Structure 1
Amino acid sequence: MTRPREFDVDQVLFQAMEVFWAKGFKSTSFEDITNKTKVKKQSLYGVFEDKRALFLSALVLYREHNLLKLQEIIAGEGSPEDQIDAILSTSMCENREDARKGCLMVNTALEFGISDADVTKQVEGMNNDVRLALEEVIEKGQAAGQFTTQYTSSELALHLANALQGVRVLQKSGQDNQQTEPILRTAFGLMKT
């Protein structure tokens, strides 16, 4: 008979995600994770099998969390212009330390490239989630005459998603909001009619 689990898997997964986010996959040791979660290595292996499986689960959690935030913005009140502005605002980290963490998916893409198919699937999935959410809002904005129709909603969504990712890379390298916010404001401004 197996012993009942003595820890909250969701809480441990969230804590592990924070460690991976701060240190990256390769630089994170299981000791780092056990120190943060206060769960023994053997217990973690009982649920997640190995560090890679734990990392993949953390990527899924991060992706789901961010998609939920996007969906809340899109379902909320306000014009398409307000919704895009809300998406851009949530992308700007309030303090320098959070900004230096960057985006877990962007960090992962930079660390792995395309060397791991399962990791690439999560990164591409996140990119697709963001692009589709932006495209949905942009389509509404074009129909309302708020955004240019010189480009398709898909083209504009790709442009804005690329600007968001670029800002995350700059934040990770130490650039502050004073230097990165104009990038997003310009990308957004080019969409307006």
Structure 2
Amino acid sequence: MAGRPKIFNREEVLDKSIQLFWEKGYEQTSTVELLKAVQLNKGSLYNEFNSKEELFIEGLKQLETKALNAFEDKLKTSDQPLNEIKLLFKSIIDSNNEDNCKGCILGNTIMEFAGQNPQIVKEASFYIVKLELLFEEYIEKAKNNEQFSSEHSSKDIAQYLINFWNGINVSRRVYQEASVLENMINFHLTILD
């Protein structure tokens, strides 16, 4: 005899739960808040996801896989991939204050779990490293296509950019004025000129 059919969309549950985790942080998100956000009862939620941690990890994977795939698609189809990298950073300028206050979920996750949960830190770090590798790959392609030259290696520039990505996502929580963020971003992106 088959179990009861699912009456919810797993992807939607992951989207709603990770947005709540992003807004509040993992530890500050209660089960009651999760159940309200995803509109499920406790039994349904924990039959699908064995724990709050599993729900968080699966939601993080889904969110970041979608985001990185979309960014990689833009890089692949662009004649000017360095412009796509610049646009990623510049998208922060147009973010609303609510998004600015949330920062980057990957950086937030690493900071919240550092020294406490190596598995979750490893999951978040995976996506940061993947973004860095995309930067490196497309900077190298731009060099090979003679669209860009630098005395620095593509790897060094990619590491600089990922460090700046982490930094600007902290700074956007402090400096929410678009003009301040724009100045910071434009200054750091001169490395791609």
Equivalent residue number for residue 35 of structure 1: 36
Q: Is the 8 A contact 1:83 1:137 kept in 2?
A: no
- Deviation of 1:147 after TM superposition, in Å, equals 3.0
Equivalent residue number for residue 134 of structure 2: 133
- What do the CA deviations read for 1:16-36 (whole angstroms, capped 9, x no partner)? 011001000000001111111
Equivalent residue number for residue 53 of structure 1: 54
Equivalent residue number for residue 84 of structure 2: 83
* Unpaired segments ≥5 residues, structure 2: none
Equivalent residue number for residue 177 of structure 1: 178
Equivalent residue number for residue 26 of structure 1: 27
Structure 1 residues 98 and 144, CA gap change in structure 2 (3 angstroms): same
- Deviation of 1:46 after TM superposition, in Å, equals 0.2
Equivalent residue number for residue 153 of structure 1: 154
- Deviation of 1:176 after TM superposition, in Å, equals 3.2
Q: Is the 8 A contact 2:90 2:182 kept in 1?
A: no
| In structure 2, C-alpha distance between the alignment counterparts of 1:20 and 1:14, rounded to whole Å | 10
- Deviation of 1:118 after TM superposition, in Å, equals 1.4
Task: For 1:7, give the aligned amino acid.
Answer: F
- What do the CA deviations read for 1:99-152 (whole angstroms, capped 9, x no partner)? 111111111112111421211111111111110111112112222344332110
- Deviation of 1:78 after TM superposition, in Å, equals 2.8
Task: For 1:32, give the aligned amino acid.
Answer: E
| In structure 1, C-alpha distance between the alignment counterparts of 2:7 and 2:145, rounded to whole Å | 53
Task: For 2:179, give the aligned amino acid.
Answer: Q
Equivalent residue number for residue 62 of structure 1: 63
| In structure 1, C-alpha distance between the alignment counterparts of 2:62 and 2:174, rounded to whole Å | 24
Q: Tell me the matched-pair count.
A: 192
RMSD: 1.7
- Deviation of 1:91 after TM superposition, in Å, equals 4.1
> Taking structure 1 as the reference length, what is the TM-score of the superposition?
0.91
Q: Is the 8 A contact 1:142 1:148 kept in 2?
A: yes
Equivalent residue number for residue 74 of structure 1: 75
| In structure 2, C-alpha distance between the alignment counterparts of 1:159 and 1:144, rounded to whole Å | 21
Q: Is the 8 A contact 1:13 1:58 kept in 2?
A: yes
| In structure 1, C-alpha distance between the alignment counterparts of 2:19 and 2:76, rounded to whole Å | 28
Q: Is the 8 A contact 1:56 1:119 kept in 2?
A: yes
